[in-house]
Structure 1
Amino acid sequence: MSGGLSVSFTSMICSVSRSVDMRVTIVIPARYESSRFPGKPFAQLKGASGTERSLLERTVNAALAVCPTIEVVVATDDSRIADAARSAGARSTITSSLCLNGTERCAAAIEDGAVDADVIVNLQGDAPLTPPSAIAALISEMSTDPTVMVATAMTRCGSDTVTRLRADEAAGRIGGTTVVTDGAGDALYFSKRLLPYGGGSVECPIFLHLGLYAYRRRALLHYAALPPAPLEAAEGLEQLRFLDERIPMRMVEISEPAGGLWEVNNPGDIYIVEQALALRGIA
């Protein structure tokens, strides 16, 4: 996908949320402290023009590109991030430092009264390569099927992505999260290891989970009222709390865009993301 969106595509995204009078807010949870990458929101990434922009600004820009009528809010516990979010064009809200993960931070933004929406899209602050079409696909899934409480995105890994994931796993780095699904398209399990074992072929693909969720308001607040699940703590994956509570998570498959989809989990990921930004022509 190129750096811009066509008028018709932008109109299509906006009409999805208006079609059933569904209030949607995109929330970007972000924190300064990170065991693997302290100060990550302010890491500088070069785009196609050679211009450096912070990881936070690039993620905010990805959210703002979805639809001009959908509000974008950065939820953080750090005033520096809140100030930078406002400078980038998003609204910001300070949430408790006790939030254990981004999902809890999204819920805190509701509980604090900073966000009032029927559907909350959680765009993680380290995922600037998320295409607007992926966000639109989740919003569409929520609007067309009222039984879906939580939707999240995945993409079928190409050979380059599988190679990177295997290299990271061999080196002891966390390079991404994979997911396996049931026949109905709901998640069975997520892991920071490659799933399934022996996957990667056309017959048995590996799906990369994207740091992107859409929640019904009540499902998000219910999540925040639950204690962390044992598997959630073991894997370090917040979404496993939903599965532990037997709340289905609808997986929405999107096509892998040019340059692939990669989050900034480690400093070494910056080069990969910069390559993708250049390939897509994102300044």
Structure 2
Amino acid sequence: MSVLIAIPARYASTRYPGKPLVPLTGVNGTAMTLIERSWRAAISVAGVDRVVVATDDDRIREVSEGFGAEVIMTSDTCRNGTERCAEAHTALGSGYEIVVNLQGDAPLTPHWFVEDLISGLRDAPEAGVATPVLRCDGDALNGLLNDRKHDHVGGTTAVFGNDHSALYFSKEVIPFTSETYANDDPTPVFHHVGVYAYRPDALADYPSWPTGPLETMEGLEQLRFMENGRKVLCVEVEAKGRQFWELNNPQDVAKIEEMMAAMGLE
């Protein structure tokens, strides 16, 4: 089954303009842009036939081609990464059986997250799209709660049913829990990992749907699938000792660099 990874990247981010070109410094002092680190995460995934950066910005194209990435130029009318992936897939001839959206702000995504995601979608023919979720420990949950306490839009959380079909995604911390958890304690909260795997028919339909009220309020593109009656499969993944965080705000740079140092990542 042929697999394409597309890394959507835009310069004009509302919360953090120029984010894909922000440098992140690893444990040995090597600085690489966010987009390069995300690309390196993508090419480490086993069983993938092609990896491309999908962008509408020449600055991102030049930097990406400079470190060896294949770049697909897309229009500046794409409303989010899913629409950009759909456009890139069409430009490539729509010949892939699974398209993975590895967003350009997730450089700490371990390869097994994506490998498990692809396997999960293959095993669920009734699902048109799948996305990983990671059970928070006490430390991760406290980080999410601290972001919201300080009015920062940080990670996204997910709730799902017994069949792992998504019930909702939110930038608030859901479900509510009044318990206190130690750093390593498992919690009932799942951090949504911003990676998606699509079947081509679901991906092709997506840009034709209007932006719904839930997607608009939360700013979460996967809600458009749910608002149009499409099943979103949540695939639980394991951290295996790796820390995970997405770069959403300028203050996340220091946090991610601290995580990279703790994990010994270059």
Q: Same fold (TM over 0.5)?
A: yes
**Counterpart in the other structure of 2:77:** 98
**Counterpart in the other structure of 2:235:** 252
Q: Shift in Å at residue 112 of structure 1?
A: 2.6
**Counterpart in the other structure of 2:95:** 116
Q: Shift in Å at residue 259 of structure 1?
A: 4.9
**Counterpart in the other structure of 1:10:** none
Which aligned pairs between 1:1-283 and structure 2 lie closer than 5 A? 22-67=1-46, 70-113=49-92, 116-198=95-177, 205-283=188-266
* Contact 2:135–2:187 (CA under 8 A) maintained in structure 1: no
* Contact 1:25–1:115 (CA under 8 A) maintained in structure 2: no
Tell me: CA distance 1:61–1:199, structure 2 relative to 1, closer, same or farther (3 Å): farther
* Contact 1:60–1:88 (CA under 8 A) maintained in structure 2: no
TM-score calculated relative to the size of structure 1: 0.88
Q: Which amino acid aligns with 1:43?
A: V
Tell me: CA distance 1:280–1:91, structure 2 relative to 1, closer, same or farther (3 Å): same
* Unaligned stretches of 5+ residues in structure 1: 1-21
3-state SS of paired residue (1:206): strand
Aligned counterparts of 1:31 and 1:231: Cα–Cα separation in 2: 23
3-state SS of paired residue (1:205): strand
- RMSD over aligned CA atoms reads 1.7
TM-score calculated relative to the size of structure 2: 0.93
Please give the per-residue CA displacement for 1:129-161, whole angstroms capped at 9, x wherever unaligned: 100001100111122332221110010011111
3-state SS of paired residue (1:155): strand
What is the aligned length?
Answer: 262
Tell me: CA distance 1:258–1:114, structure 2 relative to 1, closer, same or farther (3 Å): farther
Aligned counterparts of 2:41 and 2:20: Cα–Cα separation in 1: 14
Q: Which amino acid aligns with 2:173?
A: L
Tell me: CA distance 1:101–1:281, structure 2 relative to 1, closer, same or farther (3 Å): same
Aligned counterparts of 2:25 and 2:209: Cα–Cα separation in 1: 40
Aligned counterparts of 2:89 and 2:75: Cα–Cα separation in 1: 12
* Contact 1:150–1:249 (CA under 8 A) maintained in structure 2: yes
3-state SS of paired residue (1:261): coil
Please give the per-residue CA displacement for 1:37-62, whole angstroms capped at 9, x wherever unaligned: 11101111111211111101100000
* Unaligned stretches of 5+ residues in structure 2: none
Aligned counterparts of 1:250 and 1:207: Cα–Cα separation in 2: 14
Percent pairwise identity: 44
Tell me: CA distance 1:162–1:204, structure 2 relative to 1, closer, same or farther (3 Å): closer
